[in-house]
Structures are given as C-alpha cells and as structure tokens.
Amino acid sequence: MLFTALLGLVLGAYAESTPETTTISIPFEEYDLENGLHVILSEDHSVPFVRVNMWYRVGAKDEVEGRSGFAHLFEHLMFQGSAHMDGEYFGPLQRIGAQINGTTNMDRTNYFEGVPSEQLPLALWLEADRLGFLLPALTQEKLDNQKLVVRNERRQSYENRPYGMAWWWLFDALYPEGHPYKIPTIGKHEDIDAANLEDVKAFFRQWYLPNNASLSIAGDFDPDEAKALVEKYFADIPSGPQPSPVLSIEPTVLEGETVIRKTDTVPHDKVWIAWHSPALYQPGDAELDTLSSVLSSGKDSRLYQSIIEEKKMAQDIRAYQVSMLLGSFYVIEATATEGVDPDALVAEIDNVVAEVKENGVTDSELELAKINWEASFFRRLSTIGAKADQLNQYFIHLGDTDYIAKDLARFQGVTSEGVKTAVNGLKTGRVILHIGPEAKPEPSATEGK
C-alpha cells in the first residue's frame, strides 16, 4: 500500500511566534516490495543531486559472544565487490563525483551514495547487487585484508589516539558482562582476528535481507522512474527468515560510584563523568539534551562560567546525552587546567549539577536552550543527505517515518520541571573516568652533570 506524507518541508516563521509554534515536515511516500524491502521516496529538486540511503536493522548490539565487531567489519566488506561488480565500490562512483560511505553504531548499519541525478540507476544497481549477490564474490583474501584494515582502524581510533581508549573504558564500566552495549562497535582484536569466512557468511545471511532493510531515496528524481528502478533491481532479491534484533533489555542500574584511573601519552588530565539515562526518543531524552545546552553551550553556560571563567579549573568542558535505542548515558567531560587536581575538578562539576538538581533552570536559560536546539534541529536537516538518513532513522527505530514534527515537538515541549526531573534522574550510581599523563621518569644521579 502506497501512502504519502501530505506536507512539504516547511520551516515555520519565527516572527511573532514562540518555538512552540514552529512546524516542520518532509514530503515523502513509502511502500513495501513483496520481498519486504521498505522504500521511502522524498523529492527535492533544489539541486541536481540524489541520495540513496540504505539502513539495515543490525548493529553492534546484535552480535554474539566471541564475534564482536562483525557489524562494523561488514561495513568494510560491503565495499569490496559483489558478483556483478567484483571490485571496490568506490571506483565507479568516485569517477562521477559521488559521495559514498557507510557507518555502523550500536543499533544499526547504513550505506549511502550521493550522486548526480542522472546517475541514480548506477547507485541503485550497486546497492542491489551487494544486497543480493555479495557472497559469491566474498573471498578469504578479501576477508583477511579487511580484518587487517579494521584492526588498524582500531589502533588509530583507540589505542594510538590521545584519550582514544576513553569510550572503550566507559562502555566497559557502564555495562555488565553480556549486555549488548558492553563492547564498542569496533570490536575486540581477538574476535576480529578469529573471524573466518563461514562466520561472516552466516552473519550476512542472517541480517542482510530485504525484509530487514529500508531504502530511502531523496533529492532530484522522478518518482515513477525511481519506483521502476527499485522494482527492476531489488524485487527479485529473495527475503529470508525475519531476523530478531535486540529491541529491549532490562535497564542497567549502577550501584554506587565506579572510579577508573588510567594514564596514557596525553598532555593533560581529563575526566569523564557518566550516568545511565533514558533511551533515544523516550521521556527524559530531550530534557537531558536541553540540560546540555544550559550546562555547556556557549560562554554564558553554567559549567563554562563556573569551571572555566570563575575558577579557571578547566581548559574545556562539555555535557551531552549519548542517545541509543536500548538506553543512553549522560556525560560531562572536562580537560583540567595545568596543576589542577582532577578530583577537585569533579567536585566542582558536582556542585554545579547539584545546584540544578536543587533549583532547576531559569526561564531564560530554558528559552535560550530551546531556541538553540531548534536551530540545531533545522541545521541538521539542511542537506538532502541528512533528510534521507533521518527518514530511515524514524522508520527503523520508531516505525513512524513521519515522526519529524513529533521529534521537534519533544524539544519544544520541554519544561523547567521536566529538566529538573531529568537531572535528578542522574543518581549516585555513575562512572568517573580519569585519564592523565604518564609519570615522568626520575632523572638519574648523573643526569645534567
């Protein structure tokens, strides 16, 4: 059944209005192929450009013990060629000036191509071929090569980057053994190294199915032509047993405070304070995003004024909500000023948070935060690629492709009482991570003589 979202993209006027009256929508139509592939079409003829965006309902949370990093590994393997285009996918697309990439997180995997309008058939054919015919072209040589690439990426992004292991240590401390979020998307070295060809083929057969995917096409295209191309390239790809991604889990409750102290080749002491918080799109999620603006957005924010401007205890500081599908966590991170005890820095941050817990936020702080978030919301949707991705996110995570107005309303409807409730949800159970410079060796007795 084909149905259409009725309103075009409308940016509500700011003149003589409050943020609560601002509206937004993205025009689209959506339908399902007989094999279960969900298709979203969104016309935008502002530039001669079209974005193809494919989401799969599989992320790092859906991996099994001993096979961490598989979702991300496949993000690499999907660019190594398929039966009818057995070569790197970047080649034919880069020759036409395309934007092409893929991303993986805890909750999903996505792939996208941005191409000149007339190249839509090429982008769709390539996406369809790797969905339907990747395995015949997947060799041990390709797998071995990409295992090395991924392990090197981990070294560059984690082990060899200043403060790069912070997220690994935070996830490990925040979640118990067996939790879907215990291990970051990059995976363990030993799991990636142990992956064999049959393992990865089984992973592909389980998750890479048309009935586990959503295809979003946004930009300058003719809908009838796009539908015909989708039918031509995707309709004959067979569906399979419906996968069961992890969609819910008992919330993790931290008992007390866990303090982790690490040293590394870094120039300054840095601290991260992390609490468990409401999941993406759930009550409290938008309130904590709003709190982040009050705490650390701009030089008038509370943390900046108190910690940096007045007490000069930090070089930088920011607060943010890490929103995820099964549950989120809220983080305040700061880099200590030279000579400042990082424990004292944590205590001062706690004082600022305690003040908000006690007295809430002011009306002016709330109004400014909501205006900032609304402006950010519109900026994030300023490109065709962002719209294609957002439509897929709403469908995959919520089953409601037309959620955009409700999404904006989450922020427009935040109240002072809601922020106070959300910040008081940040309990004493938390993780504090310290990363500081490695101790300098003592000079020898003869040094300098």
Q: Read out DSSP for 221-252?
A: --HHHHHHHHHHHHTTS---SPP------PPP
Q: Examine the pLDDT at 235 and tell me if it is beyond 80.
A: yes
Question: What is the reported pLDDT for 7?
Answer: 30
C-alpha 131/C-alpha 134 separation (Å) is 6
Q: Examine the pLDDT at 447 and tell me if it is beyond 90.
A: no
pLDDT band of 24, cuts 50, 70, 90: confident
Q: Once rounded to an integer, what is the mean pLDDT over residues 392-420?
A: 97
Which is higher by pLDDT, 100 or 443? Answer: 100
C-alpha 9/C-alpha 51 separation (Å) is 17
Q: Once rounded to an integer, what is the mean pLDDT over residues 137-148?
A: 97
Q: Examine the pLDDT at 11 and tell me if it is beyond 80.
A: no
**Residues making up the chain, counted from first to last:** 449
Phi-psi region of 327 (alpha: psi -120 to 50; beta: other; left: phi over 0): left
Which is higher by pLDDT, 267 or 3? Answer: 267
Nearest-CA neighbor of 257 among 382, 327, 374, 343?
A: 343
305 φ, ψ (degrees, to nearest 5): -65, -45
Q: Is 355 a catalytic residue?
A: no
The pLDDT mean for the chain works out to 93
Percent of the chain having pLDDT more than 90? 90
The full set of domain ranges for the chain reads 26-234, 257-395+405-437
Q: Examine the pLDDT at 361 and tell me if it is beyond 80.
A: yes
Q: How many CB atoms lie within 10 A of CB 384?
A: 20
Residue with token string 């938008």:
286
Decide if 41 contacts 215 (C-beta within 8 A).
Answer: no
Decide if 149 contacts 130 (C-beta within 8 A).
Answer: no
Q: Provide CATH code, domain 257-395+405-437.
A: 3.30.830.10
Catalytic residue among 75, 113, 287, 348: 75
C-alpha 110/C-alpha 57 separation (Å) is 9
Question: What is the reported pLDDT for 445?
Answer: 56
Q: Examine the pLDDT at 91 and tell me if it is beyond 50.
A: yes
Question: What is the reported pLDDT for 449?
Answer: 45
pLDDT band of 436, cuts 50, 70, 90: very high
Decide if 264 contacts 435 (C-beta within 8 A).
Answer: yes
Question: What is the reported pLDDT for 19?
Answer: 43
- Helix extents (H) in 246-383: 285-296, 302-303, 342-359, 363-380
Q: Examine the pLDDT at 126 and tell me if it is beyond 60.
A: yes
Extract long-range pairs of 242-248: CB within 8 Å, 24+ residues apart: 242/36, 242/211, 242/212, 243/57, 243/58, 243/62, 243/206, 243/207, 243/209, 243/212, 245/57, 245/58, 245/59, 245/61, 245/62, 246/61, 246/62, 246/180, 246/326, 247/325, 247/326, 248/326
Decide if 266 contacts 341 (C-beta within 8 A).
Answer: no
CA 307 to chain centre: 29
Q: Examine the pLDDT at 69 and tell me if it is beyond 90.
A: yes
C-alpha 406/C-alpha 59 separation (Å) is 25
Same topology, domains 26-234 and 257-395+405-437? Answer is: yes
Question: What is the reported pLDDT for 23?
Answer: 76
Question: What is the reported pLDDT for 13?
Answer: 31
- Residue 2 tokens read as 């084909």
> Using alpha carbons only, how large is the chain's radius of gyration in Å?
24
Class of domain 26-234: alpha beta
Q: Once rounded to an integer, what is the mean pLDDT over residues 324-350?
A: 98
Question: What is the reported pLDDT for 444?
Answer: 59
Q: Once rounded to an integer, what is the mean pLDDT over residues 3-29?
A: 51
Decide if 147 contacts 195 (C-beta within 8 A).
Answer: yes
Please give the model's pTM, rounded to 2 decimal places: 0.92
